[in-house]
Structure 1
């Protein structure tokens, strides 16, 4: 590239401008100056000679021609540099466009894969819930011969857990009109496969439950039924209670519905627990089955029992969000696509 020259102001080489400036300067001279000029003996011819000498010192035609040649060369070089820069920019834009297209394709593929994973996760979650229900049922079935006795102090007097439990069961059978007054006969009739205190430390200084595993399911059911009919069991000045031995998961679910069972007992409505887990009760000949607090509120309203229950804690389920991208044209006639804005969309989390 040729070296750049300082641009020349061509207006100073205009003949018309120079003549006009000379005429203006002559017109602006005072009369005394004009008189002095006349007195000096300088005539029109001398003035014209002076003007010609000034014009002769201006840019010649050859110099002007060379200046335009240099200007044209400079403009041509600048144009070449500009075209090269534009070519590089176009090449970079084309590379960026290819990478964006590849990224969009991968995003689309990832969105489809995520949606497929979400669908498979839903199927897996349903299967896991069914398996958990089966495991819960199997655990409860393995405890079907068990009973829990609550309220017996952990004193040396009751160190013999099996003997103490046998005496309690004998008294329940006697109060229910079953068995005989022969202590030995009744004691031998009540047999346990296992009898021990509940595992784990004591809570709030309360005695641990006595867990009994009967050898006879029929005898266990008879004792449990009699204890439910008696409601208030007094044994040696102790207030004791007898419960079914259930899985911890089942106990937790029943605990969450304790407000419902309390309302049913207050209204003298009988209920029963079902499998899969549920609570069934009958009102005006219509059987209702519920599994959570929300269903309980709906069932009570349908049964014309205006009671609203409140859940213990909010659910942590989040609705699945569609991850499929939405694309639009980048401009008029554009072949590439760009992703649409989300328009401030915030996924709603169901708080139960």
Structure 2
């Protein structure tokens, strides 16, 4: 092709040479034949190349066959994709059904768990109340020195005689008297003395007399008298100590109720806290600021009792319509 396109330039040079030096007629014909020979070769080469290209080109029939093959392959692929989508759709439907069933089962399980949790809490509250009822005739005395060979009954009868004074009976009717049922304390402090009265009225008389006295000194020691309460009740009272402190600061009267509750009189109406989730509502109803109160049910598991932390003069117990309950011997929970 380059040679063919370059031919006119050769011819132009030939014409120029003719003008400059015209030759004979024989030499001119030979030069023309010599120039036409490369042109024919170039044309021939081009014809061969075009023939080769034409031979390699697709015919209409080839194109139809190729399109038919492509359509067939696409149909097969689309059918396979549709089949996969159908299978996925079935699987998704099955998963949706399973998810709905799982949600229903989960809701049923949550409901049953909630009911069981509420039932367990109520059973715990009843057990707590039963244990407190079993301790209703008990008094826990703190501060009396401990010595070997001591007689807890004689020590307590002397203390109660001092507390009651002239009203002391000749016989206190103690069913039992003993130190708290646990090893001696490492800090050297004496263990509490626990006693059980046969008469609930006599026990209440001693506690009322103790509340009227600011300090009680016996055996050269300062002594405190407490109601003997269950570990669950003690844990709850310890947890509510920030709230009772706030009530004392605001001079709001309060008392402890049984079954366990903290009751306060605000604006001529009684508000009560029985469960940890009652605290926020209690604070809002009483117009008190929010304070952190631990969840004594979840965060404070029952521990072995070491004695109450609230003195007898701060304990207000609803003792009406309750009969004395006697027990034959001490239990391990009275430590």
Note whether the superposition's TM-score is higher than 0.5. yes
* Structure 2 residue aligned with 1:207: 190
Question: Cα gap change, 1:42/1:153 in structure 2, threshold over 3 Å: closer, same or farther?
Answer: same
Which of 292, 308, 313 aligns to 2:289? It is 308
Question: 1:297 corresponds to which residue?
Answer: 283
TM-score, normalised relative to structure 2: 0.69
CA distance in 1, matches of 2:51, 2:89: 54
Match of 2:96 among 88, 94, 104: 104
- Give the CA deviation at 1:143: 0.9
Is residue 279 from structure 1 mapped to residue 262 from structure 2 by the alignment?
A: yes
Equivalent of 2:178 in 196, 201, 205: 196
Gaps of 5+ in 1: 1-17, 181-185, 302-306, 318-352
Corresponding position of 1:288: 271
* Correspondence for 1:337: none
How many correspondences in the alignment?
Answer: 283
SS in 2 for 1:211: strand
Q: Distance in 1 between matches of 2:47 and 2:210?
A: 137
For residues 134-173 of structure 1, what are the alpha-carbon distances to aligned partners after superposition, in whole Å with 9 as ceiling and x for unaligned? 111111111111110100111237x211221122122222
Which runs of 5 or more structure 2 residues have no equivalent in the other structure?
19-26, 299-335
CA change 1:42–1:131 in 2 (3 A) is same
Task: Select 1:245's aligned residue among 207, 228, 234.
Answer: 228
Partner-residue secondary structure (3-state), 2:157: helix
Distance between the aligned counterparts of 1:243 and 1:61, measured in 2? 116
Q: Distance in 2 between matches of 1:297 and 1:247?
A: 26
Cα shift at 1:103: 1.5
31, 56, 65: which one aligns with 2:12: 31
Question: 1:146 touches 1:244 (CA, 8 Å); kept in 2?
Answer: yes
Secondary structure at 1:231's aligned position in 2?
coil
The match for 1:220 is: 203
Q: Which residue of 2 aligns with 1:255?
A: 238
**8 Å CA contact 1:146, 1:220 repeated in 2:** yes
Q: TM-score, normalised by structure 1?
A: 0.66
Tell me if structure 1 keeps the 8 A contact 2:243–2:293.
Answer: no
- Contact 1:153-1:207 within 8 A present in 2 as well: yes
CA RMSD of aligned residues (A): 3.7
Distance 2:295 2:198 in 1: 43
The change in CA–CA distance for 1:40 and 1:160 in structure 2 (over 3 A counts) is same
- Report Cα offsets for 1:299-336 as digits up to 9, x if no partner: 442xxxxx53522447999xxxxxxxxxxxxxxxxxxx
Question: Secondary structure in 1 aligned to 2:190?
Answer: coil
In structure 2, relative to structure 1, the CA distance for the partners of 1:40 and 1:247 (3 Å cut) is: same
Distance across 2 between alignment mates of 1:47 and 1:266: 123
| SS in structure 2 at match of 1:59 | helix
> Is the CA contact (8 Å cut-off) linking 2:137 and 2:203 kept in structure 1?
yes
- The whole-number CA distance in structure 2 between the counterparts of 1:75 and 1:261 is 91
Give CA deviations for 1:90-142 in whole Å, capped at 9, x if unaligned.
32232223222221221222122222222232222222222221111111111
Q: Distance in 2 between matches of 1:125 and 1:73?
A: 76
2:144–2:218 Cα contact (<8 Å) kept:
no
Q: Secondary structure at the match of 1:213?
A: strand
Task: Report the Cα distance in structure 2 between the residues aligned to 1:316 and 1:217, rounded to whole angstroms.
Answer: 30
